[in-house]
Structure 1
Amino acid sequence: MSPARAQFFTPREVSCHCTTADLWVSYLGRVYDLTPLAPHYKGDILLKPIIEAAGKDIGHWFNPKTGDIKTSIDPQTGCLRYSTPQGLFLHISPSYPCSDWDTDFGHSWWCDEIGILSAKTRTIRIINTLTSQEHTLEVCSEETIWEILRRYLPYIAHAASYTWKYCGVPLNMDLTEENGVKDDDEFEELKLDSDLCTASIHLYFNDDLTEL
């Protein structure tokens, strides 16, 4: 198995984390878990824009070149300031000198990513030839078969005890689309129903009870 790497998430997965008790956002291709902010800053008006953004992509808040919050020139002072049309939020410094802004928060909340937002997702059907069960998963196109296998674990804990095949050929578990698994986009270009043409991976039991 390939060494562990950053985890990929689909936009749908991020959108499920949309409460103050479970608050994720994404921006510039990365995913962030901001859940700890809610109890720490409970009642702070500066938390409101972040709560309203829960489960969403906030890439429009950031400069894609610098990776920092967008800035603009204050027309009154001529000074550079953070651009926050959605309202001021946590860890944004005021555009004017003041003594009541608390800088003792460590580093900014937008610095701690937990994974990568998939640039493209796809649907794969997994068929267990031992039990005849079928499950359709939305996966990240960047994921290896090993990583797709981990997504499948909630359905069968011993998924690694199977040989994974596509069109009768064993898959290289360290590869992604290089295995030749057809992409949904090919069917969309032909205006075919992708649900009817979803690529199917067949699992064949090895009877060795391998565990991850």
Structure 2
Amino acid sequence: MTTEEAAGKMPAPMLHSRYYTSQEVAVHNTMDNLWVSYLGKVYDLTPLVEQFKGDILLKPILEAAGQDISHWFDKKRKDIRIEIDQLTNCQKYHTPRGRFVHIPPLSPNSDWSNAFVTPWWKDSKYEVGYLTEKTRGIRIINTLTGQEHVIKVCSEETVNDILERYLEYNAHAASYTWKYNGVPLKMDSTLEENGIVDEDEIFYNLRMEPDDYRQSILLYFNDDLTEL
């Protein structure tokens, strides 16, 4: 983290592969910042949009900005769904929103370039992380200041990942010992692996408000201000 980021209490970018919530994907919904998710992964298609700016074949992708487009795909083949064209009786890609970038035309067309090696939906260079299967809320209490925050996290994330999310509220979060029920947490393990069970479904079935009984992680200052 830079000095400027620490001073402004802004988290540094997470450089490793990470999990994202659907809400986090949804905010990337413009031509200059376009993400989508499909088949459990998250992709940044901004470079693709820049490359094909002004091309009519971008329209379906722009319309899907910030959304999950798994329904475009055959999950077994991990490719765009196919169907039989009623006129030609030949296979074609199923594109109900219209043909898009890297989808070939139905008939030979000299204007279509197939010089690309890998279609964008199979190109790992656009991948930025994984779409979480389940989000959950966790209360974090700073015992030094008395401040508490309920943050939404991905169930697959380790406590270290959660710490990085919490940097938005406390730039020196790494200077604390994280505990649950008085026991220090294993920072490279998930909440479940640390014995913090996801109880959302239980509260839902009992028609109870989970925020009233939200599990809490307590932070204890180590008095050794971590350099960020």
**Normalising by the residue count of structure 1, what TM-score does the alignment of the two structures yield?**
0.93
Q: Distance in 2 between matches of 1:178 and 1:189?
A: 24
Q: Structure 2 regions of 5+ residues with no counterpart?
A: 1-14
- For the pair 1:154 / 2:168, whether they are aligned, the reply is yes
- Aligned equivalent of 1:200: 216
- What SS does the corresponding residue of 1:160 show, helix, strand or coil? helix
Q: Which residue is 1:70 aligned to? A: 81
Q: Distance in 1 between matches of 2:56 and 2:111?
A: 15
The amino acid that maps onto 1:26 is S
> Aligned-pair RMSD on alpha carbons?
1.6
The alpha carbon displacement at 1:5 in A equals 5.6
CA distance in 1: counterparts of 2:154 and 2:99, whole angstroms: 33
Q: Distance in 1 between matches of 2:109 and 2:56?
A: 18
Match of 2:158 among 135, 138, 144: 144
Residue of structure 1 aligned with 2:20, choices 5, 9, 17: 9
Give yes or no for contact 1:8–1:143 (8 Å, CA) kept in 2: yes
Residue segments in structure 1 that go unaligned for 5+ positions in a row: none
Aligned to 2:37: 26
Amino acid at match of 1:180: G
Distance 2:32 2:139 in 1: 32
Q: 1:165: which partner in 2?
A: 179
Offset at residue 8 of structure 1 (A): 0.4
Shift of 1:39: 2.6
The letter for the 1-side match of 2:160 is: W
2:80 aligned counterpart, secondary structure: coil
When normalised by structure 2's length, the TM-score is 0.86
The alignment of Structure 1 onto Structure 2 pairs a total of residues equal to: 209
Map Cα deviations across residues 114-157 of structure 1 (whole Å, 9 max, x no partner): 10000000011111111111111110000010111111112112
Letter of the 1:90 counterpart = V
Matched, 1:87 2:104: no
Query: Are residue 210 (structure 1) and residue 226 (structure 2) matched?
Result: yes
Aligned pair 1:108/2:122, yes or no? no
2:189 equivalent in structure 1 = 175
Distance 2:203 2:181 in 1: 17
| Bigger mean CA deviation after superposition, 166-175 or 180-189 | 180-189
Percent identity for Structure 1 against Structure 2: 60
Runs of 4+ residues deviating >3 angstroms: none
Mapped contact 1:82–1:95 kept (Cα < 8 A)? no
SS at 1:139 equivalent:
strand
Q: Which residue type is aligned with residue 117 of structure 1?
A: L
Which of 131, 134, 141 is the aligned partner of 1:117? 131
Which deviates the most, 49-58 or 127-136? Answer: 127-136
